[in-house]
Structure 1
């Protein structure tokens, strides 16, 4: 019985092709032994969305529809789904009161358009959302189960786990057994990775690898199928061991782990601290690290030293270094890392300087040229010269990822 996910909203298509909400649903289903057969991405235009809904109902038995609430796609999907399934919408006064209370708490007046958020489909089960106000809905239609979800990954996960998976029998949606896992890597190009893993990736539908790129990071998605679940799990463990052995230090995590989470855990385990000196990334590395709860235990400070004057006055970089080598140089990156570490008295100092573009380049120093340095007492200062492709945001993202990965490497060496 086919399983399908429909992601509604132009922001999913334009801003984030990886689509975290879809990944959350697919991951939880796979953990339960249910493989997704179709994934559709569609804008919030009503005619296109209605076409996709009718196609999905015609070909799939378990359908998840995920749509953003604030941008209005959730209400559009709810209205069209009700029409396609020949239901109707009625006003839920309890939900309406909750919406009004939110506006009152903010000191705002609820606009009339907000009332449609309190419309609920008839003959659909409303599923509680413990992380947010907007509920999910489960429709039973002939041989289909259709689930409408708000498009926030942190809200979706508990709804799937607590409200949906207990109702599903994996045997209904697959033949035999299936299992999978995700390995997170950083620093190895996709072409090199595929070459290293080609002996493990077997065609034929029983064992295969997919890759998702995100700047300098690549997620390796492993899927194994078979007749017996214990055999599938055994082969999946073997795949994992083989890949980790071949890729070694490039594998930094499993599943939904982020690089900043792994770095934070290593810093905590080693009772180490870090300070950051950022130029071209404009504070992005600090943003990533401080997104992690408990980061105050290891994150001492972050300085955005964008100008040459800031590098000299805030980080104690010698004017002679900048004059002789330039702001974008290994020497300046090293001086920045050592300066921030000395000033903050931390275990590590991390620094980045580069040309994010589109302007500011020269023939000798093109757009995407970045120098990254990590200073520590035990190993001194390590630095790396990088040439990143992409636009300004891509260069900043790749720089932040690589800097965190360099710090991870230093932490692993200093056990």
Structure 2
């Protein structure tokens, strides 16, 4: 193995395109100068298209979790109650954020590996009409589940005036997102997943309904105050010092997404998901989620007859190929394969071929090439 070669097939951080790396290596500029304002002006409309919104998308210097906390602290007024739909570890992160602010938090637990049911959400809200905000993940990174947020938003609106807030950190930019059409009130994502950038930026968009609540909310906030960020981005600037090097990269990422075309970006992610799932099915290795709940950006594998941690170690040692482990009670039980951002069907064929060797080395009896062949057939059927 080449000592300096690393193949990231984890659900973030993800590989960075060479042109984005080059963009981020530009000489530093003044963050209050005209060049920065021109860059933000060029970024704004393209970000809106990725989110599927006419609203402004605020750019915060901070991780995805900063964006999640921003969504909570700006919308939940003192004394109000919220519902968090938990389908995995990052749904639980929303719970922890809410409890840190002493918010009365109702939790709707969903078995890890399954998607949320909109009808169950609706029934919960009917029993608890005092709930003012509903929070959910879009892609639950810890399980590879894509929650039906379009249908969930409709269910919430049918029985409640509550805002619907979505954590899209591990899928926005890799799966279709239509914030305005689906009537989602806040969408949050981060830079290090499908946006193909280093960690360090968080993006937050809010609906008109959400803005009404944000403006009336007396909850104290400073750095995470969305009103400050909105007022500044309308002037093509930021209220605080931005991560300029990542903004250089963001401008190039948005160029790449538009060059490929967003619809083609989403088809590519769907194709890589289908190839990965077909490979493990052909190798008779169980997947954590069913096809209907599967995310286009990350696949969770739940082996029944070999050690997932031993497999991960072999892949890292033999090929420099990293796949992620499970979290919390799924630690050492599953492994997760990221296929988002700067990732192509060719990358997945490489990864699947290498993983077949890793499976044999960990003691799993398989027919070499069977998984690759299944992935190849999916590509021939669905790819270009």
Does TM, normalized by the shorter one, top 0.5?
no
TM-score by length of 2: 0.31
Q: Computing the radius of gyration over CA atoms, which structure comes out larger, 1 or 2?
A: 1
Greater relative contact order (Cα 8 A, min sep 6): structure 1 or 2? 2
